């Protein structure tokens, strides 16, 4: 038995480490206030402290860590996007994810499985080819596979030609991975907290104080604090906080539901996606199938799951894996997807000089957590927009420089 385990098990001198220092009073002022204690906000705080030595930072969250969208997704990580800007950005995220457990001294259960996006039509095959070429050009492993190779990669898929949507081929992306989503937030939060960052859970920002086009502080339900800079990283509430800051974000918020089955013996190694059937599924280390489908078809701020979604998703899952018919579901949940017109996120400067935005993640916020945090921290610390996130600037909508990424969505819209 490892010595560490004995030490912690038998001695009162070694209490288990808390994730974060207990919440104290808010200080009168901070160098940086980060609104939103999800993965992105905490990762930004971590890289501010670690790479830029800025530790007079408060992360404010209206709920609890891991309780928002960070814990309400299906934890898929990939970089097989359609636009070169998207591919480069998510590729850096994968590189950071690979070493994250060691970097944070916290096991995020990162597991590289391969990601398979099924094509059921010629049009889908064409888009896959396009993505493969963009990916390979940028050094990202992706390939088009036809039915024989697919049968080898994922032998459990129903490849019959006598079904509604026979599978023609797939985009295979070996780096596709899963991780434990809330552990990513706990890991970043814990490491940031150990470097002096304050994490204030159950602290709601109710206003942003401005003077001469600059932020001077924020008002919270626990009092006002002054600050030199603010970052908003509040998936699901992005338009509301932007409104407080005095500008409009081109975002519509729609619910995205998902569910998890009872644990099963491991049978599915790859992450399997079908855009035509509106299905994505992976098997967690606990054996549960983590499954999701299309966004709800209307904007809404509600995390209430529906029976209609579950019935529709199960019908589609059974077309791919008919042998799952008797499997029971354990849980169902809903997250909020902040959709932009071009399906790419918004990162960088805002009309308020010292207020920075990290928003519009739609259905890919989790997989961007490390890179968004690292590059937002660089922006906040240096005032220079890093090249990797510059294409995602808010002003692109005014400039008609959109970054159409819908063709890379796993989620139906
Ligand atoms: O983009 O891989 C994805 C994804 C899966 C579920 C939500 N987004």
pTM score of the predicted model: 0.95
Model pLDDT, residue 1: 55
* Closest residue CA from atom 4 of ligand 1: 410
**Residue 77 alpha carbon, nearest atom of ligand 1:** 2
Q: How far is the CA of 369 from the centre of ligand 1 (A)?
A: 13
Q: Is 359 helix (H, G, I), strand (E, B) or coil?
A: strand
Model pLDDT, residue 398: 96
Residue 405 CB neighbour total at 10 angstroms: 19
Ligand 1 pocket check: which of 69, 72, 76 to mutate, most ligand atoms within 8 Å of Cβ?
76
Q: How far is the CA of 73 from the centre of ligand 1 (A)?
A: 8
Q: How far is the CA of 77 from the centre of ligand 1 (A)?
A: 8
Domains of the chain, start order: 25-73+182-250+342-409 (3.50.50.60), 112-175+253-339 (3.30.9.10)
**Residue 363 alpha carbon, nearest atom of ligand 1:** 8
pLDDT over threshold 80, residue 235:
yes
Distance from chain centroid for Cα 172: 21
Give the residues surrounding ligand 1 with Cβ less than 6 Å away.
74, 76, 78, 280, 292, 363-364, 410-411
Percent over 90 (pLDDT), the chain: 93
Residue 55 CB neighbour total at 10 angstroms: 17
Beta carbons of 114 and 176 less than 8 angstroms apart: yes
Kindly give, in sequence order, each residue whose CB lies less than 8 Å from that of residue 215, ignoring residues fewer than 6 positions away: 208, 209, 227, 229, 230, 245, 352, 353, 354, 355
Q: How far is the CA of 364 from the centre of ligand 1 (A)?
A: 6
pLDDT digits (tens, 9 = 90+) for 387-399: 999 999 999 999 9
Give CA separation, 224 vs 28, 136, 205, in Å: 8, 50, 9
Q: How far is the CA of 368 from the centre of ligand 1 (A)?
A: 11
Ligand 1 pocket check: which of 70, 72, 73 to mutate, most ligand atoms within 8 Å of Cβ?
73
Model pLDDT, residue 22: 83
Model pLDDT, residue 6: 72
Q: What is the mean pLDDT of the chain?
A: 95
Q: How far is the CA of 363 from the centre of ligand 1 (A)?
A: 6
**Residue 115 alpha carbon, nearest atom of ligand 1:** 2
* Closest residue CA from atom 3 of ligand 1: 410
Model pLDDT, residue 412: 81
Q: How far is the CA of 283 from the centre of ligand 1 (A)?
A: 14
Beta carbons of 209 and 64 less than 8 angstroms apart: no
Ligand 1 pocket check: which of 93, 273, 279 to mutate, most ligand atoms within 8 Å of Cβ?
273
Across 97-104, average pLDDT:
98
What ranges in 122-237 are assigned the alpha helix state H?
122-137, 147-153, 181-194
- The token duo for 246 is 């005095």
Model pLDDT, residue 2: 62
Pairing of strands 76-77, 289-295: unpaired
Q: How far is the CA of 266 from the centre of ligand 1 (A)?
A: 21
Across 228-248, average pLDDT:
97
pLDDT over threshold 90, residue 125:
yes
Ligand 1 pocket check: which of 77, 89, 280 to mutate, most ligand atoms within 8 Å of Cβ?
280
CA distance 347 to 413: 22
Model pLDDT, residue 15: 66
Kindly give, in sequence order, each residue whose CB lies less than 8 Å from that of residue 18, ignoring residues fewer than 6 positions away: none
pLDDT digits (tens, 9 = 90+) for 264-292: 999 999 999 998 999 999 999 999 999 99
Model pLDDT, residue 4: 65
Model pLDDT, residue 411: 86
Query: Using 50, 70 and 90 to split pLDDT, how confident is the model at 313?
Result: very high
Percent over 70 (pLDDT), the chain: 97
Q: Is 231 exposed, middle or buried (0-12, 13-18, 19+ CB in 10 A)?
A: buried
* Closest residue CA from atom 7 of ligand 1: 363
pLDDT digits (tens, 9 = 90+) for 168-213: 999 999 999 999 999 999 999 999 999 999 999 999 999 999 999 9
Model pLDDT, residue 17: 73
Q: Is 216 helix (H, G, I), strand (E, B) or coil?
A: strand
Ligand 1 pocket check: which of 411, 412, 413 to mutate, most ligand atoms within 8 Å of Cβ?
411
Query: Using 50, 70 and 90 to split pLDDT, how confident is the model at 161?
Result: very high
Q: How far is the CA of 374 from the centre of ligand 1 (A)?
A: 21
Model pLDDT, residue 28: 98
**Residue 256 alpha carbon, nearest atom of ligand 1:** 7
Beta carbons of 350 and 242 less than 8 angstroms apart: yes
CA distance 174 to 271: 10
CA distance 68 to 301: 12
pLDDT over threshold 90, residue 35:
yes
DSSP designation for 221: B
Give CA separation, 168 vs 8, 134, 163, in Å: 54, 21, 12
Ramachandran angles phi, psi of 11, nearest 5°: -120, 130
Query: Using 50, 70 and 90 to split pLDDT, how confident is the model at 5?
Result: low
Pairing of strands 252-261, 111-112: unpaired
Q: How far is the CA of 406 from the centre of ligand 1 (A)?
A: 12
Query: Using 50, 70 and 90 to split pLDDT, how confident is the model at 19?
Result: confident
pLDDT digits (tens, 9 = 90+) for 349-374: 999 999 999 999 999 999 999 999 99
pLDDT over threshold 80, residue 27:
yes
Q: Which of 70, 356, 65, 44 is nearest to 197 (CA)?
A: 44
Q: How far is the CA of 299 from the centre of ligand 1 (A)?
A: 19
Region of 55 on the Ramachandran plot (φ > 0 left; ψ -120 to 50 alpha; else beta):
alpha
């Amino acid at each position: 038995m490892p010595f560490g385990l004995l030490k912690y098990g038998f001695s009162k001198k070694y209490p288990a480490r808390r994730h974060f220092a207990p919440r104290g009073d808010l200080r009168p002022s901070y160098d940086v206030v980060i609104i939103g204690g999800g993965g992105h906000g905490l990762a930004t705080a971590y890289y501010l402290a670690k790479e830029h030595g800025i530790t007079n930072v408060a992360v404010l969250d209206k709920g609890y860590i891991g309780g928002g969208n960070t814990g309400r997704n299906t934890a898929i990580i990939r970089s097989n996007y359609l636009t070169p800007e998207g591919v480069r950005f998510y590729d850096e995220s994968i590189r950071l994810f690979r070493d994250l457990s060691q970097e944070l001294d916290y096991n995020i259960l990162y597991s590289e499985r391969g990601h398979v996006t099924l094509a059921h039509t010629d049009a889908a095959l064409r888009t896959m080819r396009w993505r493969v070429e963009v990916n390979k050009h940028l050094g990202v492993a992706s390939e088009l596979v036809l039915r024989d190779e697919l049968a080898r990669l994922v032998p459990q898929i129903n490849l019959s030609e006598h079904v509604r949507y026979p599978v023609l081929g797939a985009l295979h992306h070996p780096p596709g991975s899963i991780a434990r989503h809330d552990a990513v937030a706990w890991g970043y939060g814990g490491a940031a907290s150990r470097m002096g960052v304050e994490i204030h859970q159950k602290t709601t920002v109710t206003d942003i104080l401005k003077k001469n086009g600059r932020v001077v502080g924020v008002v919270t339900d626990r009092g006002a604090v002054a600050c030199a800079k603010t970052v908003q990283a509040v998936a699901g509430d992005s338009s509301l906080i932007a409104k407080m800051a005095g500008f409009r974000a081109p975002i519509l918020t729609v619910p995205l539901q998902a569910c998890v089955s009872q644990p099963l013996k491991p049978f599915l190694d790859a992450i399997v996606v079908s855009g035509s059937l509106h299905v994505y599924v992976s098997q967690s280390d606990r054996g549960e199938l983590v499954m999701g489908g299309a966004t709800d078809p209307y904007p809404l701020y509600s995390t209430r799951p529906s029976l209609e979604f579950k019935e529709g998703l199960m019908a589609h899952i059974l077309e791919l894996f008919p042998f799952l018919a008797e499997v029971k579901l354990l849980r169902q949940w809903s997250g909020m997807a902040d959709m932009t017109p071009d399906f790419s996120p918004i990162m960088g400067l805002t009309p308020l000089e010292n207020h920075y935005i990290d928003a519009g993640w739609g259905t890919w916020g989790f997989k961007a957590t490390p890179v968004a945090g690292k590059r937002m921290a660089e922006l906040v610390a240096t005032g220079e927009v890093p090249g990797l996130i510059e294409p995602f600037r808010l002003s692109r909508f005014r400039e008609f420089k959109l970054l159409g990424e819908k063709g890379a969505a796993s989620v139906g819209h």
